[in-house]
Chain A
Amino acid sequence: MALTTSPPADLAPAREAATDAAGLGRVRASAFVVPALVLIAIFLVYPALWTLYLGLTNYRLTGIAAARPQFVGLDNYVRALRDPEFLNSLWLTLLYVIGSAVIGQSILGFVLAATLRTVPRVVRGVVEAFVMLAWILPSSVVAFLWIALLDRDSGTVNALLGTPGMAWLLEYPMLSIIVFNTWRGTAFSMLLFSAALNAVPPSQLETARMVGASGWQQLRDVVFPHIRGHVLTNLLLISLWTFNDFAPYLITAGGPDNRSEILPVFVYESAIFDGQLGFGTAISLLMLLINLVLAVVYLRLLRERRS
């Protein structure tokens, strides 16, 4: 065994080229990698750089600025940060992320995961199947379902709640899209938390029970410290997904009166409807920055726990 493995590199290599494990040599090895690099350059690096550039111009979808965009420096960014519509949209996005991801999906997902451990297998299977179904259905289908559910005249929700004529999407647009996204995305948190809860040693929970710890105390002192990493990972993923989620557009289209215009919708409206590609691109970059900050904060928290 030890005899057939290749000798360490510092023990006088037989051929000069054979410093790599496969023995291809630098030139041939590069030939294998180049196609992938080209594809990455075309489809990832170029658009990214292009976006960076567009954000600094007054590029428009139509008109003179479409043919001959002018370099405007940081104007787009300054404008965005002074634009009450942008700030409103940022605020709505925050509400959307906190409401549907942090509170809705993860808390509901945890409660479901914890409760389903104690119910009979059949019940658990059925509930899990429904939650998963909501997750795997395409957004467009789910959006259509919710429009039908919340319909003013013949909607199921109005029939169930006994509130005929209630226009949910007009009266409570933010609440509607928050509930919609919670409903659609809870499965992920539920699955992640069920796996996490399986990793909590039963004897530790039982020790807590033996000394008389209440359900809440068991959660705080035993369960939560064990699943803290899972909670953070889950929060990171679902807040990023929710932050960039465009599906609410399919339900409220940002309206009425921009009252549910979260950032992805705002970008779409500015760039495509108003044709201000440069401005829209600048906002996309701002979103990217916010995503990065979110990710860094969560990763910091995760690392803190490990050390």
Chain B
Amino acid sequence: MADIELRRLVKEYPGGVRAVDGLDLTIADGEFFALLGPSGCGKTTLLRSIAGLETVTGGHILIGGRDVTGLAPGARDIAMVFQDYALFPHMTVRDNIAYPLRIRKMGRPERHAKAEETAEGLSLGGLLDRRPGQLSGGQQQRAALARAVACHPKVFLFDEPLSNLDARLRLEARTFLKRLQRDLGVTTVFVTHDQAEALAMSDRMAVMDAGRIRQIGTPTEVFQRPASTFVASFIGSTPMNLLDAVADRDTLRVAGTTLPLPAAAGPHVRDGEKLVFAARPEYMTLHREAEPTGIEGVVAIVENMGVGSLVSLEVPGGADGARIVQVTVPEGQEPEIGSRGWAVAAPERVLLYRHDDGELVGSERAGAGEPVLAGAGD
């Protein structure tokens, strides 16, 4: 078992794309770590760099304290599961699972016994003599996992291993993968662009954008206190409400309403400073009657989400036209379309961001406190 440490890692592709841009990251031993971010932010590149499939152009990679930056992929003691599973189509499932052991020169009976044992653990018992083409998507995925497990690596790397499964199977595989990782206790890095997956499975997660990490934390931290408007808009099954606001002494003017300024934010904002008011739809309630702290609007859309509904209020805006505020309402309380409503945010759930750099109010400003890392990039 081993921890992973990345020090100022840079991967610049020929042609000048900096897919990983001076990244520092430590992943603890046995941790299930999710890398989340929009398409093209460098998740795959980062994972492949850890694997050794890409040669990094700067920085260091340490696994279990050993610098592996210059080592070949095969010498790093890492197993990777690809999005397409990469099972060898001409080998049986048994031979596929035993393949890493065969490369390590383990004898045939021994490695077959090992493969069978692993397959049993992943409920692939009856499928050992089939070829990958004769398996369902979920079985293929488990066969690929079994191959990774069979060689007892120090680190697992998964690049969107669930994205080829249908929605229902994906939920099953999620639970399965999580339990497997907990049982084995192997340090795992998991790439996904599905934030629900990251929230559900990881011990800690990182949100990436443009080759850098924008926030690291437990899923709860990231969900409840996104560090920036970027993360806030990215995380959550329904996007967070982000509304322009202005500080006015100890009040906050937002969407035609005046709210008390949260006490914690008080010392960090200047009078008249432009801010962004943020509240999750799940942390807001819809009222039919006027509320002093409610944002008033007209119900435009009601979307059924199963347990409840997502209501979009059209709020007549200032200069930039109408804005939309979304609120979830419990089952049976859906309002009429076109009716008036007041959205009230739970005060302890409201977050304030600076309008200029999009960071949380009260956080260190980049360039002010600690030096900006890898500033050479821009």
Contacts and interface: CB of A to CB of B under 8 A. Distances in A.
A225 B95 CA distance: 14
Contacts of B126: none
Contacts of A217: 103
B159 to A, nearest CB: 9
A211 B88 contact: no
Nearest to A206: B53
Interface SS of chain A:
helix
Contact of A204 (B74, B78, B86, B151): B86
A208 B102 CA distance: 11
A121 to B, nearest CB: 11
A63 interface: no
Contact of A203 (B52, B73, B75, B86): B86
Contacts of B73: 206, 209-210, 212
Contacts of B51: 206, 210
B88 A210 contact: no
B104 A212 contact: yes
B90 interface: yes
Contact of A213 (B74, B75, B86, B87): B74
Nearest to B79: A210
B163 to A, nearest CB: 14
Contacts of A206: 51, 53, 73, 80, 82, 86
Interface string B143-162: 00001000100000000000
Interface string B67-109: 0000011110011101110111110000000011001100000
A210 B75 contact: no
Contacts of B89: 225
Interface string B336-364: 00000000000000000000000000000
| Size range of the chain A interface in the assembly | 10 to 19
Contacts of A201: 84, 86
A176 to B, nearest CB: 40
A221 B98 CA distance: 13
A225 B86 contact: no
Interface string A181-214: 0000000000000000000010110111111110
Contacts of A210: 51-53, 73-74, 78-80
Nearest to A212: B74
A225 B90 contact: yes
Interface in A272-295: none
A222 interface: yes
Interface string A206-236: 1111111100010001100110000000000
Contacts of B80: 206-207, 210
Nearest to A213: B103
Contacts of B90: 225-226
A208 to B, nearest CB: 8
A303 to B, nearest CB: 16
Contacts of A213: 74, 103
Contacts of A212: 72-75, 100, 103-104
Nearest to B99: A211
Interface string B28-67: 0000000000000000000000011100000000000000
Contacts of A211: 74, 79, 99-100, 103-104, 151
A188 to B, nearest CB: 26
A153 B53 CA distance: 53
Contacts of B104: 211-212
A209 B53 contact: yes
10 contacts: A204-B86, A206-B82, A207-B82, A209-B72, A209-B74, A210-B79, A211-B100, A213-B103, A217-B103, A226-B90
Given A203-B82, A210-B52, A210-B73, 11 more contacts: A203-B84, A211-B79, A211-B99, A211-B100, A211-B103, A211-B151, A212-B100, A212-B103, A221-B99, A222-B88, A226-B90
Interface of A: 201, 203-204, 206-213, 217, 221-222, 225-226
The 3 A-B residue pairs with the shortest CB-CB distance in the complex, in nearest-first order: A212-B74, A203-B86, A211-B100
